[in-house]
Structure 1
């Protein structure tokens, strides 16, 4: 019997009131990054955003609560764009969609900044009996989104980014789960020279926490060699996009090469405003389990396939509720099936 957990990869859309207030507070520069020198009014606004994100997740009944990353104007590049050794360059398209971020150009040594840890600590202060989940870009993705103007070698740069993220994680408050978001691992897979190192850097970041670590990929399916090397990383789960990616390819690698004891399933569309039916999502959970007959997972995470900042707030809130309800339905069905088999 698998423990079915409803959660998200974070990066929520800002409420409309926050967009308006923060635009005014930041001099109508909507894409301006707020760093450690942000004014008190801006910091207070983000505190209110964080509280709203936590309340939304609690109201929906999610099993893991994320901070929501309201300050991450540059999305997954954020942990670098706030770093003292990074200069922000021009606007770059975020993968193949209509979102943009400022190119983080690394111009000096990377060391832990504590920025994400401070956000997580603020979120933890809002929790009662809720379970905190940390979210970070994975090291391969963060290196892929950045420009190296300091280390001068692709492998050395990836290694440095891994050390940087491991240092960030060491400063985190207590958390049950860590999601490392690695879309680049499938959209721009490591080449032969980096495959082993990419897996090793993920392993290093995972080793910095006692929490369960999920490497969440999305938008595309794995390449075989990259997936095989990722299996060497000591993580608890790998996440697969079952909305946008080629599901047959992912299932082929899972069944041929195996996977971790836990699994994360991207089953709710994080980019489409159509709100799924919870029963249908629960059926998708069961369907994926049926396609992997050789393995019974300890934990199955049910998530959107991507971040949800693409969505209007009301649609995102509705999808949070769908995730929680779907996980409950799937858990009940799994328990009933286990009882019958017994």
Structure 2
């Protein structure tokens, strides 16, 4: 069996510099106030043009999976809830221990899918012109962890409601090759005993809504052993590993508990301006494989460990170029 090497990213791209300037001129306040689901025509046009730019960049670099870019997601992972009718957005909150901020989504009524992400993907699919499309969503546990419940009244019911909400969003997606579920909360605020099984069930529910390959991408470290073992119970195609933040514990989890037939390796730093050489990424891929000593993976996704939202635009482009070239080098080496 020949391993396929696929270059991709978890999405969450930076805006092109011209778009930042235009949006600042269009609205004389912080950009997070613009993301309300009813932007005026000029703002909508700016985001549409920026989407064209980031998709052009992915195609020009030869990236194997094309993402929409999530340029409107100023609340980052919280965005799908922030635009829902049953959610009020409250004050600014820090993401984990990072200098990243979002408006707190407070759920006040029954959650219903919005179709917001599906409409973005439909626009991306038209621009991708037949290239393999990759959808990106926050995982249900991370969205549950970041949100506040003022309606369901029970943690288990709230997590299940968020999973059902995301399932409905995925149901509306156009055809896509892969789906990345971003789950940093599994690392940063890991679920307790009992809750870890419910988190896996929630992920399984969202993953079951698509025929695409589903990759669960935790980051900013490694999963606790029980959390990792429960994650493997979900019907997913690949687990992502942040080898930038933690090599040893991620390797231990794979060696001790095994993993899926496919794997996503976060080998390029999505938040550091230092651009990795393609050869270095290829060498790290070989190093991981050598450390594991396992049967060949069917597919290895080479990716940044996190989104690239906070990188300067030129550095983001360079990271994509490095990943695309690294995947090509890995294919040649494997052959």
Distance 1:157 1:74 in 2: 20
- Within the alignment, does 1:296 sit opposite 2:310 as a pair? no
- Within the alignment, does 1:170 sit opposite 2:171 as a pair? yes
Map of 1:320 onto structure 2: 320
Map of 1:124 onto structure 2: 125
- RMSD (Å) for aligned C-alpha atoms: 0.9
Q: Check conservation: 1:190, 1:226, Cα contact below 8 A.
A: yes
Distance 2:79 2:258 in 1: 33
Distance 2:27 2:291 in 1: 50
SS of match in other structure, 1:263: strand
SS of match in other structure, 2:142: helix
Map of 1:13 onto structure 2: 14
Distance 1:81 1:27 in 2: 21
1:60-113 C-alpha deviation (Å, 9 max, x unpaired): 110000000000010000000000000001101112221211000111111111
SS of match in other structure, 1:264: strand
Structure 2, unaligned runs of 5 or more: none
Q: Check conservation: 1:33, 1:74, Cα contact below 8 A.
A: no
Map of 2:227 onto structure 1: 226
1:40 positional shift:
1.1
1:25 positional shift:
2.0
- Within the alignment, does 1:58 sit opposite 2:67 as a pair? no
Write out aligned runs for 1:13-92 (5 A). Answer: 13-92=14-93
Q: Structure 1 length as normaliser, TM-score?
A: 0.96
1:169 positional shift:
0.2
1:160-194 C-alpha deviation (Å, 9 max, x unpaired): 00000000000000000000000001111110121
How many corresponding residue pairs?
Answer: 334
Distance 1:329 1:110 in 2: 45
Distance 2:86 2:95 in 1: 22
- Within the alignment, does 1:108 sit opposite 2:125 as a pair? no
1:244-273 C-alpha deviation (Å, 9 max, x unpaired): 12x111111111111000000000001110
Map of 2:279 onto structure 1: 279
SS of match in other structure, 2:88: strand
Distance 2:90 2:194 in 1: 27
Map of 1:143 onto structure 2: 144
Distance 1:105 1:129 in 2: 38
Distance 1:208 1:33 in 2: 30
Map of 2:269 onto structure 1: 269
Distance 1:33 1:45 in 2: 12
Distance 2:34 2:10 in 1: 21
Q: Check conservation: 1:282, 1:326, Cα contact below 8 A.
A: yes
SS of match in other structure, 1:143: helix
SS of match in other structure, 1:196: helix
SS of match in other structure, 1:302: strand
Distance 1:216 1:33 in 2: 28
Map of 1:236 onto structure 2: 237
Distance 1:273 1:36 in 2: 32
Distance 1:310 1:37 in 2: 25
1:17 positional shift:
1.2
Structure 1, unaligned runs of 5 or more: 336-342
Map of 2:257 onto structure 1: 257
Map of 2:305 onto structure 1: 305
SS of match in other structure, 1:265: strand
SS of match in other structure, 1:204: helix
